[in-house]
Amino acid sequence: MGDTAGTARTPLVEARGITKRYGTTVALADARIAVERGRTHALVGRNGAGKSTLVSILTGLQAADAGAVRFDGEPAPPLTDRDAWRTRVACVYQRSTVIPQLTVAENLYLNRQSHGRRPIAWRAMSRRADELLQTWAVDVDVDRQAADLSVEQRQLVEIARALSFDARFVVLDEPTAQLDGPAIKRLFERMRSLQERGVTFLYISHHLDEVYQVCQDVTVYRDARHVVTGPVDDLGPARVVAAMTGEAVGLVNRTPRAPLDGDVPVVLDVRDLRTTSVTGIFAHARPVSFRVRAGEVVGLAGGGGSGKREIAETVVGLRRPLGGTVCVDGRPLRPGSVPAALAAGVGFVPQDRHQQGLVGGLSVAENLTMTVPQHLGPHGVVLPRRRDRLARRLIRDLAVKTPGPGVPVSALSGGNQQKVVMGRALADDPRLLVAIQPTAGVDVRSKETLLAVVDDVRARGCAVLVASDELDDLRACDRLLVLFQGAVVGEFAAGWTDHDVIAAMEGIVP
């Protein structure tokens, strides 16, 4: 598949022959994109397809190893000329760059409050900020503290800040991930209004239904390469999903297991669970109910903002639900209590090993055993010999590459650090293992080891709940629940195809 026939007009933004490597990893290989003036152009692809790398090159945050970027037919400015880049392109990221402690006006004119050595004219700055927001029909009080703004308002402030530099090309990176339905609708209306006034958007999203609501063109990347570009009217959802997946079919190197007998006991019973994100966007989604039996692996699949992470964190007590119950071995867990989950036999592999999974200043042994002090000595006393004996067993079982249990965990590679996080979750032989993105950021060999561990604990009768958007993490699952905006939109038995699951994750449900 390739580009559709183009027009004779010069694209507002064009990248051709873009190649970028990080060591031996090829992030982009001869990639390209052309965005026409006054249109909204979608860039889609699976994780690792190269979207983020392309955005960093289009916004001047890093240089390509090969290839060229042009704006309105002219070469992109040098990376050191930040002012020139700001007048050409701006990016509104999923994670807000608005500073909460400052007012809206101060955020809009950050580092531009005054000219030269003159003192800041606060009233004049507020007046300029108000005029800017009125020009772009953004209804926000410029003297309001940014911390008091909603996610939707912060996004509008960031778009207005970009336009204040006279940039007319704006990259929106997963802009709806933290918005509810009405806010998404208002964002799309605002985008259409700005588009009519000459603003061009590059729209990055995991939700294909949004692409067909707000975009005119779409480009698909897969495995660091450009696959296809064309008008959304010509490239239907089925064709885009096929381009994203390479038309992959079925499981790879895995044979679906026979269904479990009906008398196998239920370990995890989730009933009418209602969760919430930081912005409360799942508050009105349908309640979620499911069961996981002993020796069964159930997957929660979904993209960013789907609710999979929130459900998994609620099960392990990191979040308090809005409603519903979580039972382990027939006993309800105290809502929002990690100690209660641990006491019930729940092991947990969090999504972010650096922020939630490891204590960098402690040793491998200390990280592996910190949740099981009862096994390390009497009356809360940790006996180093006993601790290291348990740590060595876990190091052996998970093939952790380390000179010994006393090595600081921060000295290990990312894949071995993830094995330590997995080992700690298994240190007390849990009845239920909950893992979020269990192979994120690890190499192929470490991924194979970690997924083999999931197979091993399942064979021992442990129930497993895996929440991920990585299909490799989900291939071992006996059943797959696909979530979209906080609700289950599909259930798949073992033997599912990549095409069907990804379509459901993108909100394209038959």
State how far Cα 78 lies from the chain centre. Answer: 31
What's the pLDDT at 8? 55
Give every CB contact of residue 152 below 8 A, 6+ residues apart in sequence: 179, 183, 186, 187
List 20's β-bridge partners, or say none: 28
Nearest Cα to Cα of residue 138 among 197, 85, 90, 82: 197
What's the pLDDT at 5? 41
CATH level 3 topology of 13-98+168-245? Rossmann fold (3.40.50)
Nearest Cα to Cα of residue 300 among 42, 474, 40: 474
| Rounded distance between C-alpha atoms, residue 369 and residue 428, angstroms | 9
Give every CB contact of residue 445 below 8 A, 6+ residues apart in sequence: 415
What's the pLDDT at 252? 39
Q: How confident is the model at residue 257 (pLDDT cuts 50, 70, 90)?
A: low
Dihedral sign, CA of 178, 183, 189, 194?
negative
Nearest Cα to Cα of residue 503 among 485, 486, 484: 484
In this model, does residue 318 exceed pLDDT 80? yes
The structure tokens listed for 151 are 């996610």
What's the pLDDT at 123? 84
69 sits in which H/E element: strand 66-71
What's the pLDDT at 158? 86
What's the pLDDT at 253? 47
Three-state SS for 175-194 is CCCCCCHHHHHHHHHHHHHH
Q: For 92-106, what is the mean pLDDT?
A: 84
What's the pLDDT at 173? 87
Cα-atom radius of gyration of the chain, to the nearest Å? 25
Sequence spans of domains, the chain = 13-98+168-245, 99-148, 264-345+430-510, 356-427
| Rounded distance between C-alpha atoms, residue 353 and residue 368, angstroms | 13
> Which of the two residues, 220 and 371, has the higher pLDDT score?
220
* Residue showing tokens 């692409």: 211
DSSP class of residue 363? B
Percent of the chain past pLDDT 70, that is, above it, reads 91
In this model, does residue 282 exceed pLDDT 80? no
Q: How confident is the model at residue 413 (pLDDT cuts 50, 70, 90)?
A: confident
Give every CB contact of residue 379 below 8 A, 6+ residues apart in sequence: none
In this model, does residue 190 exceed pLDDT 70? yes
CATH 3.40.50.300 fits 264-345+430-510, yes or no: yes
| Rounded distance between C-alpha atoms, residue 439 and residue 470, angstroms | 8
Give every CB contact of residue 165 below 8 A, 6+ residues apart in sequence: 86, 87, 90
List 435's β-bridge partners, or say none: 349, 466
The structure tokens listed for 153 are 């308002």
- Taking only the tens place, the pLDDT of each residue in 337-347 is 999 999 999 99
* 428, amino acid identity: D
Judged on CB neighbours under 10 Å (0-12, 13-18, 19+), 409 is buried
Tell me whether domains 13-98+168-245 and 264-345+430-510 share a fold.
yes
To the nearest whole number, what is the mean pLDDT of the chain? 86
Q: How confident is the model at residue 174 (pLDDT cuts 50, 70, 90)?
A: confident
DSSP class of residue 447? H
Angle at 139 between CA 135 and CA 141, to 5 degrees: 105
| Rounded distance between C-alpha atoms, residue 457 and residue 297, angstroms | 10
| Rounded distance between C-alpha atoms, residue 292 and residue 193, angstroms | 47
Enter the pTM of the model. Answer: 0.64
In this model, does residue 41 exceed pLDDT 70? yes
In this model, does residue 159 exceed pLDDT 90? no
What's the pLDDT at 249? 33
Sheet containing 346-349: give its strands across. 346-349, 432-436, 463-468, 297-301, 479-484, 487-493
- Taking only the tens place, the pLDDT of each residue in 295-316 is 999 999 988 778 999 999 999 9
Other Cβ atoms within 10 Å of 198 Cβ, number:
10
As a whole number of angstroms, the longest Cα–Cα distance in the chain is 79
> Which of the two residues, 56 and 471, has the higher pLDDT score?
56
